[in-house]
Structure 1
Amino acid sequence: MSSEEPVTSRFEENLQFKQVAGPERYSVTTDGPVVYLSIADPTGAVIGYIWANDEDDAAGWVVPPGLSANAVNAGGRWVRALGAGKDRQLAPTALLTELARGVNDGKQSHAVPGSLSEVPTLAVLREQASGVAKVS
């Protein structure tokens, strides 16, 4: 007879996560074109891109690789702006237009003036983020 106790079957089940409540969020994926805004730290180094696509009600934050902890933390302000925009039921590109006017700028980061642009896909933006250059 074995000294091991049998495992209860409920511990062997694969549990499925199903969110039943919580704040609404923009979708984080799209196959369509995305409008984006460059976000920089006080030195002008790009710390991320906030992007949007109205067709899929999608928006998100893309971060270049290799950022310092302070730069990553400064991006939190922009991620929170996405949640606030959805709470106010703004279309994703309307939120970007608002952010481009500097309404979310702070001491640690700011929207780069005149950087509102468009790329054909989110994948192109992610590729662009991997080769970030300093802007003012």
Structure 2
Amino acid sequence: MSSEKPIPSRFEENLQFKQVAGPATYSNTTDGPVVYLSVADRTGSVIGYVWANDQDDAAGWVVPPGLSANAVNAGGRWVRALRAGKARQLAPTALLAELARGMNDGRQSHAVPGSLSEAPTLAVLKERALGG
């Protein structure tokens, strides 16, 4: 007779992740055109793009590859601005307009003046971020 206790069957089940609560967020994908804003660090180097599409209630942050840790960290305030905009129930492009007016600028990063632009798709913007 073995002295080992049997493993309860509940420990052998495959658990399924199901998020039941959390902050509201914009969709992170769209197939339509996007309006975007370039964001630069204090040296003037572009560290990312905030984009928006009202039709799909979508908005997000696209980061170019190869950034320094400080540049990546500076992008955090723009991700937080997206969450705050959704919490205030702003349309994605209304939030982008606020950001373009400098509402989220700080010591580490700022919206590039006059950089509000449009791309035919999110994929095109991501390609731009890659330097293509």
- In the superposition, the TM-score normalised over structure 2's length comes to 0.92
Secondary structure in 1 aligned to 2:113? Answer: coil
**What aligned pairs does 1:1-136 form with structure 2 within 5 A after superposition?**
7-131=7-131
Distance 1:67 1:8, change over 3 A: same
- In the superposition, the TM-score normalised over structure 1's length comes to 0.89
Q: Deviations over 1:32-52 (max 9, x none)?
A: 111110000111100000011
> Structure 1 residue 9: deviation in Å?
3.3
Query: Unmatched 5+ residue regions in structure 2?
Result: none
Distance in 1 (CA, whole Å) between partners of 2:40 and 2:65 is 14
Distance in 2 (CA, whole Å) between partners of 1:49 and 1:23 is 22
Secondary structure in 2 aligned to 1:47? Answer: strand
Distance in 2 (CA, whole Å) between partners of 1:35 and 1:8 is 53
Distance in 2 (CA, whole Å) between partners of 1:127 and 1:4 is 57
Distance in 2 (CA, whole Å) between partners of 1:34 and 1:112 is 17
Distance in 2 (CA, whole Å) between partners of 1:68 and 1:29 is 26
Distance in 2 (CA, whole Å) between partners of 1:13 and 1:114 is 55
Secondary structure in 2 aligned to 1:90? Answer: coil
Q: In angstroms, what is the RMSD of aligned CA positions?
A: 1.7
Distance in 2 (CA, whole Å) between partners of 1:2 and 1:123 is 60
Please list every run of at least 4 consecutive aligned residues from structure 1 whose deviation after the TM superposition is greater than 3 angstroms: 1-9
Amino acid at match of 1:120: P
**Percent of residue pairs identical:** 84
Distance in 2 (CA, whole Å) between partners of 1:55 and 1:93 is 10
> Structure 1 residue 21: deviation in Å?
1.3
Query: Unmatched 5+ residue regions in structure 1?
Result: none
User: Number of residues paired by the alignment?
Assistant: 132
> Structure 1 residue 57: deviation in Å?
0.5
Q: Deviations over 1:6-28 (max 9, x none)?
A: 65433332222111112111111
Which deviates further from its counterpart, 109-118 or 8-17? Answer: 8-17
Distance in 2 (CA, whole Å) between partners of 1:91 and 1:43 is 31
Distance in 1 (CA, whole Å) between partners of 2:123 and 2:101 is 26
